[in-house]
Amino acid sequence: MLITTNVRWAASESRLYRYSFDTYDAEATTGIARSELDRGADELIAYFNNDEQTIRITVQQDGRPLSLFNDRETAHLADVKALFRTVFRLQEASLAFALVFVVGVFIWAREAPLRLLARMLLAASLLTLGLLTLFALLAQVGFDELFLRFHFLAFTNDLWRLNPDTDHLIQMFPHDFWFDAAMLVAGLAALEAALLAALSAIYLRVRRPLTLTTLVAQQPRA
């Protein structure tokens, strides 16, 4: 739930798109004015969140209209949108499951004590932190290989193989940007998992079950 939520946020966060333009000088690489690139980013975000099958963005370059993406890039963006939509549905399903599970089992039916929920949340958060740490370590030493394998798994074609000398999409969002974005999503999920783990640990510490020794110690002395 944490990972898919952060991916969904990143896909719709204009500041992340503009970070790529600023950091990797997309204006110089594409030869397109920054204002036009910003508008293109906004249209990309809208496309990932609407029901349109194909995206067509026209920008101005040297006073003439220009299609921002060629046919290959446009087809790849349709694949990217389909992947994002799958992630969005997974995020919604995982969030719904978590809410139903917590409300149904621990609040409404009261079939289990909240301490059990706290222990489950603590264990899940620590597992998430462990997996994210492993991913970060692997990415540091071999992100290129991870990135390549991800594309082989996520797509059934090679439309993602773009030319950085001619294709605007990879010029706007180069390879190094995807490393930054992956680290951002993993970092946010790790912070959230750490917060949940801390809250769970605090709850378990504060709401410790009373033991016989504790009960005896609490008895008033004559």
Interaxial angle between packed helices 71-101 and 34-48, expressed in degrees from 0 to 180 and rounded to the nearest 10: 50
CA atoms of 141 and 31, how far apart (whole Å): 33
Enumerate residues 6+ apart whose C-beta is below 8 A from 62. none
Model confidence pLDDT, tens digit, residues 104-155: 877 766 656 878 888 999 999 999 999 999 999 999 999 999 999 999 999 9
Model confidence pLDDT, tens digit, residues 150-206: 999 999 999 999 999 999 999 999 999 999 999 999 999 999 999 999 999 999 998
CA atoms of 14 and 41, how far apart (whole Å): 7
Mean pLDDT of 10-34: 97
Domain boundaries, the chain: 2-209
Contact yes or no for 73/162 (Cβ under 8 A) = yes
Give me the pLDDT at residue 209, please: 62
